[in-house]
Amino acid sequence: MFARRLTVIKRVLQAVNTESVRFCHSRPQLTQFIDMKIQLLPALEDNYMYLLIDEETKQCAAVDPVEPEKVLKAVEDAGVTLTSVLTTHHHWDHAGGNEKLIDLTKKRGLNVKVFGGDDRIGALSNKVKHGDKFNIGSLDIECLFTPCHTSGHICYYVTSSKGDQPAVFTGDTLFMAGCGKFFEGSPDQMYKALVEILAKLPLNTRVFCGHEYTVNNLKFAAHVEPSSDEVKTKLAWATAQRSKGLTTIPSTIEDELKFNPFMRVKESNVQAHVGKKDPVETMGALRAEKDNFRG
């Protein structure tokens, strides 16, 4: 299924020049913090790329820049300098633009570093592991190793010395109201990623994920917890957003703990839905059910 979807995407990109595409699944969106900006850039069928911009130094990083020309245009429009690429995982629809982006930036005299946790990532220059830290300008980046969707998946947690609201780029580990498929991992690994790592971040951490899957995810959440007012309210909001071509991103860790069934596997009503009492077994059963869920 995944390989088939990527083949379709590749054919579409081969058939058109991405700079001339007039339709995109969502409108770009800028999220303003105190010390940073995060520019959301829609890509492909339902992907999201991001520019992480440090306000103090005007340096920026591109997150999963699968459409490099679009990213470089956004960099130019923002008047900032691209210094880094943060790659969450090796799948083509996230890392597939790395080589071209590096080639284009080298021609412009830039030395852009590519961070990631998997040797399968194209143009990788800086391999990272859990707990590694580095900077984008004055912003602090911490690498969170979250294997399961892929064995080398990394989330990037962003903070500033001035105490700005934190952010985390979660790729295909954590979506709004959902999580990624367990292509190269186990329920235990996703439990650790979601419950023991990401859920422990500050509640106000803004979550920037890799795909626009929110409406379908919330429909599944409503199936799991049909009496949840949190889910009903969020689904109505997300449906309205998508009807206007607007993104549903970002979320927050606090919100995910309220309506994301995969982060609520300790809750008795979620466990009862799948007939399990163990949270890891609940995680596995939920994922198996979601894989066949059609809304």
Catalytic-role residue among 54, 89, 90, 273: 89
Q: Is 153 part of the annotated catalytic residue set?
A: no
Of the candidates 94, 118, 153, 273, the residue annotated as catalytic is 94
To the nearest 10 degrees (0 to 180), the angle between helices 279-291 and 214-224 is 120
| Active-site entry in 91, 118, 255, 273 | 91
- 211 flagged as catalytic: yes
Q: Which of 149, 153, 255, 273 does the annotation list as catalytic? A: 149
Select which of 93, 118, 153, 273 is catalytic: 93
Instruction: List the catalytic residue out of 90, 153, 211, 273.
Output: 211
- Is residue 247 within 8 A of residue 241, CB to CB? The reply is yes
Is residue 89 part of the annotated active site? The answer reads yes
Instruction: Identify the active-site residue in 90, 172, 255, 273.
Output: 172
Q: Does the annotation mark 229 as catalytic?
A: no
* Catalytically active residues, by annotation: 89, 91, 93-94, 149, 172, 211
